[in-house]
Amino acid sequence: MLKYYFLQPEGRWRPWLGLGVSYIWFTHAHVSAAFQQALSMQLTRGATAGLPTRAHVDSEWSPVFNGGIAYQFDKHWSAAFSISYLPFSTRASLTTPLPAGETVKSVAKITLDPLVTLVSVNHWF
């Protein structure tokens, strides 16, 4: 994240804008038991075979847009607030083996646009 701070470094108020990049990855992706049961019922035409669906979510890079403001109470204490926006999209793949030996595969595009906020209180020695 690269940030540009406005106003004087010794000022009480210091707003900033930032631009960066984030690498987002997922571990232990799985489907819920309810989804697994509904899928199993659909694929086996009513018989619950407990088919083990595997899930995988692709890792992706995403830009990060950030802005915030800090307030300096004195030379040791400050507080800050920032907000970051990460426009992110990836693919999720589901693979389900059928009892007859076939495999059902599906891919879904997932789009997330999270706003991440931060409130901090800082102390310097």
Structure tokens at 119: 């409130």
For the chain, the structural domain boundaries read 2-123
Q: What is the pLDDT of residues 83-93, one digit of tens each?
A: 999 999 999 99
- Print the SS3 string covering 60-80: EEEEEEEEEEEEECCCCEEEE
Residue 48: per-residue pLDDT: 47
Identify the segments of the chain with pLDDT beneath 50.
48
CATH code for residues 2-123: 2.40.160.20
The DSSP symbol for 100 reads T
Residue 101: per-residue pLDDT: 76
Q: Which of 56, 43, 50 is nearest to 107 (CA)?
A: 56
Residue 44: per-residue pLDDT: 62
